[in-house]
Amino acid sequence: MVIRHALMVLATLATAAHAAPLVIAHRGASGYLPEHTLEAKALAHAQAADFIEQDVVLTKDDVPVVLHDIHLDGVCDVADRFPDRRRSDGRFYVLDFTLDELRTLRVCERRDPQTGRQVYPGRFPAGTGIFRIATLAEELEFLAGLDRSTGRRTGVYPEIKQPAWHRREGHDISPLVLDVLRTHGFAAKADPCFLQCFDADEVQRLRGELGWQGRLVLLVGEAPDDAADPLLADGVLANLAATVDGIGPPLSRVVGPDGRPTGLVAAAHRAGLVVHAYTFRRDKLPAFAADTDTALRMLFVDAGIDGLFSDFPDLCVTWLHAARP
């Protein structure tokens, strides 16, 4: 039975109509080192991730920096260094700090801002090590250097975070991100770059008004619990395909709680879209799988996703190498 199952996996991957699945390092190799640090990106590169993600927000002086949130307090020592810079909601916002100020902060493993407890207790110990915030330009230069010194090309996968919120605050993030990407050689669909965003209106703006010619992915959140997935309604995916190259759904929208594919991937493929699902974590497995091997088989083989975001890119790379012919 084991041999038969292995042959079925090989056949499925070998005969898939789309390209071999991509492993996308989620915030770098963030299962091992603090997220979005250059150290986490270097490890992801060494672990042979196909693409490495950059979440992008703006500083007060309009510099795109690589951080997951518009808030700072969950991933650095800002409360200790600038205790008087909280807003009325008690949070510290990246947009309230200049780049020079951000450079003085020490990044740490993600913690709950209210309790101070580490979100993933088994990961890199919070408060140890010296890690810093990087600009988008610095990270792209760093990855290009690794490509040169190792002889392998790794793609980039930036996400524009909360563009509508940035505009309400008086800052237009999207043109600034596009300028950095174009300066570093990412502008066309042939370039190893996917640009992603949760804001459907901004995705339309990126493609239209701002003239982005590269690959574009619309991120989507959880589907409603009490209704069918709206993405599966007639014409929805076909309409999206006029603007984007793919969608980025959560794992629960790809494989249901019963362990069966939801049909979203197949429908997206019929519309000509790729599906890059998020996020696989060894220390927080999806509800539909009891172990790593089962989860990856369901996602890559049963559901047929084209790419997977993971905090542990090495596990995905190893699994795919074992499954490929």
How crowded is residue 307: how many other Cβ atoms within 10 Å of its Cβ?
Answer: 26
Per the CB < 8 A criterion, the answer to whether 138 and 71 are in contact is no
User: Residue 279: is the preceding peptide bond cis (ω within 30°)?
Assistant: yes
User: What are the distances in angstroms from CA 73 to CA 49, 55, 94, 280, 312?
Assistant: 28, 16, 9, 24, 24
Phi, psi of 188, deg, nearest 5: -120, 165
Q: Which residue has the tokens 């947009």?
A: 95
212: nearest Cα among 245, 167, 238? 245
Would strands 51-58 and 64-66 be described as parallel, antiparallel, or unpaired?
antiparallel
Answer yes or no: are the C-beta atoms of 113 and 73 closer than 8 Å.
Answer: yes
Dihedral angle of Cα 137, 143, 146, 152, to the nearest 10 degrees? -140
d(CA 218, CA 271): 14
Catalytic-labelled residue, pool 36, 45, 68, 71: 68
> Residues 110, 74: contact at Cβ < 8 Å?
yes
Q: Which residues make Cβ contacts (< 8 Å) with residue 142, sequence separation at least 6?
A: 38, 41, 42, 134
Q: Active site includes 71? A: no
Is 26 catalytic? The answer is: yes
- Give the separation between CA 216 and CA 323, rounded to whole angstroms: 29
Q: Of the candidates 84, 184, 66, which has an alpha carbon nearest to the alpha carbon of residue 132?
A: 66
Which sequence positions are flagged as catalytic?
A: 26, 68
